[in-house]
Structure 1
């Protein structure tokens, strides 16, 4: 388990992480989300003892990272897909890490096989693509067979087969009872992998909840209805106490209703319909809506940008 308590990091007058507290529990994949500049990377570096907190602490299985005798056996991490000596072979890189943590050489062979690097084990890591470098980083993270796995953007550079592989790997690790903490900008992947979310903005905790609850709380779900009898349909819905909106394409949107109830209503009134479908937001849409006020760097709309240019040019 990872436990952050009032975690704070300041650089001069700038507070990057602000009294952040949360727990990452075993047996599930926990996604770590936040806009650019939210403090995610700094938080993860403090978890691994790479950055010292200004205040607060992070405990890894009840102890600060610095007090772990053989850290790779407790927590494995991928923060940078290119964090290896380019002149070493993949096997040599892993052997070096194994020897420093008293991990048997047989484990090196195991993780090379697990990550699909057997055929390139004796090639220099500096020649690897971003995706292959990521696989090597994951092999290093798994080397000590740790109970906690921390991954930052693990699908970077991977082909579709590699993305499916890492997705299943994270699920399998969680199913074994391990703590899996993953940060990614690919919301579609987290939606398929994570069960729980930690969301931060401007260094502060914004949400600590399940993926399902997060989407439900930050999106507008409705039942879409296309019918050649929109007025009859609207009247039937309104009479039943269902709030009805009209979509951009003229379809009706029954807000807060279940598709099954809408179907029964249609049948009872004998209304002709061409479509009845449940519409809900994706994790990405819910995230954008939820963090709209916490984005530090926001692009200008085209019109605003054009106006600024005219003003700066003296137009």
Structure 2
């Protein structure tokens, strides 16, 4: 069991963790969620004595981590899969950990077999992929056969088989009565693994509840219906006291009734249903709803678009386009309403956007001096010195 009481951590005027109080209980997988910068990693580091709290207390089975004489036998943790000596083999990395906590040597072979790294036990860890490093870190957490396990982003870098394996491993450990505490940003995977959730935002506790209660309280569930007899179905639902919301595709959403009740009501009035489907919110939707005001880092704009204001954005010219010279009119024929670089030296295109030039003709500048006038050539670029000329002896044409 892990117990936190008023746990607080400040870095100068920045409060990373703000009076956190909760208990991680045995027998269930407890998910630890929060946006980036919420204080999850700092909290887990304080649990393991890697960071000292500014105030508050955290205990592992009633003791501070520093009071555990052989800590790997009490709590196993994976916080950083790359926190290993790259020159050591997987076997010797685990053997060093085992000897420091008086763990039998045979346990190293057992955990390597458990995580599927027996075939590479004699290889140096610096050549491991991210997924193999994750497996080695999990092996280190399991080494002392502890009653408490902590994992920070355990599925990072794992392939689908590895994700399925670690999910079942955590569930199996909890079923044995162990305490399993896992932090992850993969909501879909957390929804399949965790039984209980602890959610923090900006260092403060936001939720400490079961998975089902969290989704129910922080999201909207409804039943979706579609019928060729739209008006009759709407009237029947309204007379029965249900609130019906029409959708753009001609369906209905009813949030104050279950699918079985609504289906029986339609059948009673001999109404044909093309769709009757309960729509349940996902963990991701519920999480986004709860933490919307606690997200510290927001992304803006869209990929490939020009910067919108701020440092580095091109100055707007008088024509309203980035970089356009003052008084420059938009380029006619541009499907985007004007060139961002001002007028082309070739003049506007004589063809509509998307229209190809006639066969055998190239693109030509419209003439003002009558038909048949030769097109004007574009201005030649200024002469630039040859690269490297400043290092050459011009008499011998060699570098000096």
Bucket of the pairwise TM-score, normalised by the shorter protein: over 0.9
1:282-297 map, 5 Å: 282-297=282-297
Equivalent residue, structure 2, for 1:137:
137
1:205-232 CA-to-partner distances (Å, cap 9, x unmatched) read: 0000011111111111000001111111
Equivalent residue, structure 2, for 1:11:
11
Instruction: Using the TM superposition, give the Cα deviation of residue 86 of structure 1 relative to its aligned residue in structure 2, in angstroms.
Output: 0.5
Instruction: Using the TM superposition, give the Cα deviation of residue 233 of structure 1 relative to its aligned residue in structure 2, in angstroms.
Output: 1.0
Q: d(CA) in 2 for partners of 1:169 and 1:100?
A: 25
Specify the SS of the correspondent of 2:293.
Answer: helix
Instruction: Using the TM superposition, give the Cα deviation of residue 246 of structure 1 relative to its aligned residue in structure 2, in angstroms.
Output: 1.5
The 8 Å contact of residues 219 and 285 in structure 2, kept in 1 or not, is answered as yes
Q: d(CA) in 2 for partners of 1:15 and 1:309?
A: 28
Instruction: Using the TM superposition, give the Cα deviation of residue 249 of structure 1 relative to its aligned residue in structure 2, in angstroms.
Output: 2.0
Give the unaligned 5+ runs of structure 2. 317-400
Higher RCO (C-alpha under 8 Å, 6+ residues apart): 1
Aligned: 1:248 with 2:261: no
Give the unaligned 5+ runs of structure 1. none
1:50-100 CA-to-partner distances (Å, cap 9, x unmatched) read: 000000011110111111111000000000111110000000000000000
Specify the SS of the correspondent of 2:82.
Answer: coil
Equivalent residue, structure 2, for 1:224:
224
Equivalent residue, structure 2, for 1:265:
265
Specify the SS of the correspondent of 1:233.
Answer: helix
Equivalent residue, structure 2, for 1:181:
181
Q: d(CA) in 2 for partners of 1:176 and 1:311?
A: 56
Pair 1:310–1:8, CA change in 2 (3 A): closer
Q: d(CA) in 1 for partners of 2:293 and 2:250?
A: 31
Equivalent residue, structure 2, for 1:37:
37
Pair 1:84–1:278, CA change in 2 (3 A): same
Aligned: 1:99 with 2:99: yes
Equivalent residue, structure 2, for 1:207:
207
Q: d(CA) in 2 for partners of 1:305 and 1:256?
A: 45
1:209-266 CA-to-partner distances (Å, cap 9, x unmatched) read: 0111111111110000011111111111111111111123221001121000011101
Equivalent residue, structure 1, for 2:123:
123
The alignment's C-alpha RMSD in Å is: 1.7
Q: d(CA) in 2 for partners of 1:312 and 1:139?
A: 49
Equivalent residue, structure 2, for 1:63:
63
User: Which is helix-richer, 1 or 2?
Assistant: 1
Pair 1:128–1:62, CA change in 2 (3 A): same
1:162-211 CA-to-partner distances (Å, cap 9, x unmatched) read: 00000000000000000000000100111000000000000000000011
Specify the SS of the correspondent of 2:149.
Answer: strand
The 8 Å contact of residues 307 and 313 in structure 2, kept in 1 or not, is answered as no
With structure 2 as the length reference, what TM-score do the two structures score? 0.77
Specify the SS of the correspondent of 1:284.
Answer: helix
Q: d(CA) in 1 for partners of 2:94 and 2:41?
A: 24
Larger radius of gyration: 2
Instruction: Using the TM superposition, give the Cα deviation of residue 312 of structure 1 relative to its aligned residue in structure 2, in angstroms.
Output: 5.8
Q: d(CA) in 1 for partners of 2:22 and 2:182?
A: 14
Instruction: Using the TM superposition, give the Cα deviation of residue 39 of structure 1 relative to its aligned residue in structure 2, in angstroms.
Output: 0.3
Q: d(CA) in 2 for partners of 1:12 and 1:85?
A: 32
Q: d(CA) in 2 for partners of 1:112 and 1:311?
A: 51
Q: d(CA) in 1 for partners of 2:256 and 2:302?
A: 35
Q: d(CA) in 2 for partners of 1:79 and 1:246?
A: 48
Equivalent residue, structure 1, for 2:239:
239
Equivalent residue, structure 2, for 1:108:
108
User: Which is strand-richer, 1 or 2?
Assistant: 1
Pair 1:243–1:141, CA change in 2 (3 A): same
Equivalent residue, structure 1, for 2:309:
308
Instruction: Using the TM superposition, give the Cα deviation of residue 298 of structure 1 relative to its aligned residue in structure 2, in angstroms.
Output: 1.1
Equivalent residue, structure 1, for 2:164:
164
Q: d(CA) in 2 for partners of 1:236 and 1:36?
A: 47
